[in-house]
Amino acid sequence: MPIHTETELYAPIKQYFEQRGYTVKGEVKHCDLVAIRGEEPPVVVELKKSFNIPLLVQGIDRLRLTQEVYVAFELPNKGRAPHRLQWEEIRRLCRMLGLGVITVQFYQRKQPAVNIVCEPTPYVLRANKRAALQVVHEFHERSGDYNVGGSTQQKLMTAYREKSLHCAYLLREHGPLSPRRLREFTSNKAVSSLLQKNYYRWFIRQSRGIYYLTPSGEQALTEYAHVLTAFTFQTSSEQLVDV
Q: Is 30 left (phi over 0), alpha (psi -120 to 50) or beta?
A: left
Q: Judge whether 90 and 81 are in contact, CB under 8 Å.
A: yes
pLDDT in tens, the chain (243 residues): 678 999 999 999 999 999 999 999 999 999 999 999 999 999 999 999 999 999 999 999 999 999 999 999 999 878 889 898 999 999 999 999 999 999 999 998 899 999 999 999 876 767 789 988 998 999 999 988 888 888 878 889 999 999 999 999 999 999 999 999 999 999 999 999 999 999 999 999 988 889 999 999 999 999 999 898 877 655 544 544 443
Name the DSSP letter for residue 71: E
Using N-to-C axis directions, what is the helix angle for 179-186 and 159-174, rounded to 10°?
A: 120
pLDDT tens track for 26-50: 999 999 999 999 999 999 999 999 9
Q: What's the confidence (pLDDT) of residue 53?
A: 95
Burial class (CB in 10 A: 0-12, 13-18, 19+), 49: middle
191 closest CA partner among 201, 199, 182, 200: 182
7 closest CA partner among 36, 44, 29, 33: 33
